[in-house]
Amino acid sequence: MDQSTPFRPGHTSHASDATIVNDSETGLLMEPFKNDWGREAQRETLGPMLPQGAMKPRSSSIGQVPTISYTPVRAGSPSSSPDPDHEQFATYPPDEKIKPWNSRSDEQALKALTKKEKSLKNGTWIPVPLRPWFWVTFIIGMLVLAIVLEVMLRVTNDRNGWPVHGAFSSQAGVMHYFYTLPPVAVAMFLVAMWAWTDVEIKKMQPYVDLVHGDAPAHRSVLLDYTRTNNFIVWMRAAANKHYIVALASLMAITSLALQPLGAALLTVRDTWLATPDQTLNNTAALGLNLDDQFWDVTSFLTAAGYASASVLYNLGDPMFIQDGYTVAPFELPTYIATNGTVYANTTAILSDPGCQPPAHNLDMVHNLNNDTWTITADEPGCPYTWNVAKVAENLFGVAPCPDTGDGTPDYLRRVLFWYFTYQPANASITFCQPTVSLWNVNVNVDLASGNLTSVTTLSPFHVNQGNFSAFAGNITGSPLNGKAYNGIAYNLTGPDPFTVARVNATQLTLPAAVFQSADQTGLEGVFQSNGFVGLTNTVYRMYLALVAKKVYFLPDNEPITVQVKTVERRLWLSDVAVHLLATALILLAFFGTIVQLLHRGDRANLKLAHQPGTIASAVVVGAQTNMGVLLAGRQRKEDIVQALRDKRFRINTRTMKIVMEGEEGYDEAASPGHRKSVFASGLLELMSPRPASRRYSTQTPP
């Protein structure tokens, strides 16, 4: 015999010499247990090939296989003869007999198993979206995201949005997508994850029906939900009583709403925002200002000119004047913003013209000789008579009330405005008693124009009480004693011609402005309705407020605290989008948990050893079966459906082969019922006539 050729005995040797098999028995006796030893064979193929029948020794504690020598009984003896017709008995030295297992070594060996080996040992393949670690994390993530959205909405509303600058503040352009795309990307991820879950549930449904047993072809081997549109597949699944698939499909449809809601989540809005308080200076304080412009009537003439122009050109109120209020002016914080509103507490003087119609009707006397008229107004405290000649068609004028002997100077008396027209002849007179009052006010000032937008009285102003009150004593006290200049008569001594001309111009401008306003609205109707009272009140009030700005305020420089609210572009969370997104996420999390738990129980008896869906997988479960033979040669869908009509199917959870009704092993492929426990199923398996065994051998008869 060639010594280079390894000696292979013709029969199997064991650690125990009580059980032997020869070559002819090996293939036959082990055939029924191939499936039982499948996983062991996978691991054994990783090591070197052993002689037939030899036992692979267990690993030692240091991971090395002990060397066991083989010593023949004696040369040429029958027991060591290479003759294949004789059984061989092996003997080993006593010190090389296999020793008992070391428990510590076993633990180390078990820990050394790779994840792949452990998965093979478990023997059950579950899609990633249906594994607990995945879907629990996914569900918790959606709940956390819903909570975070609601919390961020509250924070955003409390902070009045988030500041954005430059290109980010635009609703158009590339930078707009810089903050709108991330929510869409997150929504896409969530939709993709649930779509993945939905697809895996649909793919597994045929196997779930097979493992339940007695599944007709249209609900098992012919079933494919993945090729039906999601918007209608749920109806098909519900018709097949696959309610888990139907619910999962409806949730997949619902999840599609996450993307448009994510796109609408963030928006840039013009936000009315309050800035920190600013300390500035006022430029004037209440106090009688008898400067040169007061004595030469310049301030009165310019005020009359503005009041007249405001009627003709609708100019509106100038800065720091509104509806008769003249507010102490102050600096505006234009360095903060160019558009906004300034809020401040300050002082103001309210000018009230106090215009009223006459207490009695006018007495008009027509002098036919020279076509003149004499008009008399019998007003208590202010009787007045004037004559008009037809030098013009329309005539008007203004004058202080006559002296009644009470010692009131003419510049503090009541005034009257009279109007007359020849076409047709008609007259009107209005009596006005101007007054002023001092107030503490809260004002809103438009930052761009400096105009007052609101004046709210807080309390009456008292001299030497509070801010800006140091100079107001000469208004409430001597020489005015709380009275107001009427702006019609003036306390002048030896005025120059220019001053007299300005006085005349002022006295002409005011009634002219009123008459111009009446002519614009219909002169005859104004005379008949005595509408001159309201028109006079408007023009005269504007005039008195303008006079007050120059006469009743002195230059000053005191600190004043103001607050600025301005329009700023800020990033906001949409309330509607947040609430809808949070609701959708919570619903998906709730029903997703129900779907996962129900599907977990539904597939409890399904033990897939590999991932289904490939051609190789289809061959594994269907090849060498009666169904495979039945479908052999059939290509058209109609032929396949016809061949499987009225057939019922199960899947053997041990071999993962599809078994058709009436086929051998169909009853054994039945899964435990809902009322049958796992222990009862195991007991029935042990009592079956062909129990599974992991070791079977017999001694060859001599």
Kindly list the averaged pLDDT for each block of 10 residues, start to end, along the chain of length 702: 44 38 40 42 44 45 42 44 47 48 50 46 78 94 96 92 72 68 92 93 88 83 86 91 93 92 87 89 91 90 94 88 94 87 94 93 89 91 91 92 88 94 92 94 93 94 82 84 91 90 94 92 90 94 95 92 89 92 95 93 83 81 78 80 83 80 73 42 41 36 40
d(Cα 284, Cα 290) in Å, to the nearest integer? 14
d(Cα 685, Cα 668) in Å, to the nearest integer? 9
The two three-digit tokens of residue 351, written as one number:
């000018």
Is residue 179 within 8 Å of 171, Cβ to Cβ? Answer: no
Distances (CA, A) of 106 to 6, 60, 103, 315, 432: 32, 9, 5, 100, 114
Q: Concatenate the DSSP letters of all residues of 458-515 into one string.
A: EEE--TTSSTT-TTTHHHHSTTTTTB---SSS---SS--HHHHHHHHHHHHHHHHHHH
3-state DSSP call for residue 202? helix
Distances (CA, A) of 304 to 308, 429, 634, 668: 6, 20, 107, 113
Amino acid at the residue 252: A
Question: Please, what's the b/e burial string for 599-624 (b: 16 or more CB within 10 A of its CB; e: otherwise)?
Answer: beebbebbbbbeebeeeeeeebbeee
d(Cα 304, Cα 513) in Å, to the nearest integer? 9
The phi-psi region of residue 123 (left if phi > 0; otherwise alpha if psi is between -120 and 50; otherwise beta) is left
Could you check whether the bond before residue 82 is cis, i.e. omega within 30 degrees of 0?
no
Pairing of strands 394-400, 415-422: antiparallel
d(Cα 580, Cα 256) in Å, to the nearest integer? 13
d(Cα 180, Cα 175) in Å, to the nearest integer? 9
Is residue 348 within 8 Å of 325, Cβ to Cβ? Answer: yes
**What secondary structure letter does DSSP report for 101?**
P
d(Cα 394, Cα 526) in Å, to the nearest integer? 14
Full 3-state SS string of 214-247:
CEEHHHCCCCCHHHCCHHHHHHHHHHCCCHHHHH
d(Cα 662, Cα 670) in Å, to the nearest integer? 13
Beta bridge partners of 561: 279
Full 3-state SS string of 66-83:
CCCCCCCCCCCCHHHCCC
Distances (CA, A) of 608 to 35, 56, 622: 15, 30, 14
Question: How far separated are the first and last CA of the chain, in Å rounded?
Answer: 27
Question: Please, what's the b/e burial string for 562-597 (b: 16 or more CB within 10 A of its CB; e: otherwise)?
Answer: bebbbebbbbbbbeebbebbbebbeebbeebeebbe
**Packing angle of the helix pair 176-212, 575-602 (nearest 10 deg):** 20
Q: What is the pLDDT of residue 421?
A: 93
Query: What's the half-sphere exposure (Cβ side, CA atoms, 13 Å) at 309?
Result: 10
CB atoms within 10 A of CB 431: 23
User: Which of 398, 383, 621, 674 shows the shortest CA–CA distance to 513?
Assistant: 398
**Packing angle of the helix pair 497-521, 298-313 (nearest 10 deg):** 20
d(Cα 191, Cα 412) in Å, to the nearest integer? 82
d(Cα 320, Cα 313) in Å, to the nearest integer? 20
d(Cα 700, Cα 355) in Å, to the nearest integer? 138
Residues 6+ apart with CB under 8 A from 123: 39, 607, 609
Dihedrals phi, psi of 351, to nearest 5 degrees:
-100, 120
Q: What is the pLDDT of residue 481?
A: 85
d(Cα 70, Cα 96) in Å, to the nearest integer? 10
Amino acid at the residue 115: K
d(Cα 232, Cα 226) in Å, to the nearest integer? 11
**Packing angle of the helix pair 230-239, 176-212 (nearest 10 deg):** 20
Amino acid at the residue 433: Q
CB atoms within 10 A of CB 374: 13
User: Which of 599, 629, 581 shows the shortest CA–CA distance to 209?
Assistant: 599
The two three-digit tokens of residue 598, written as one number:
């129900």
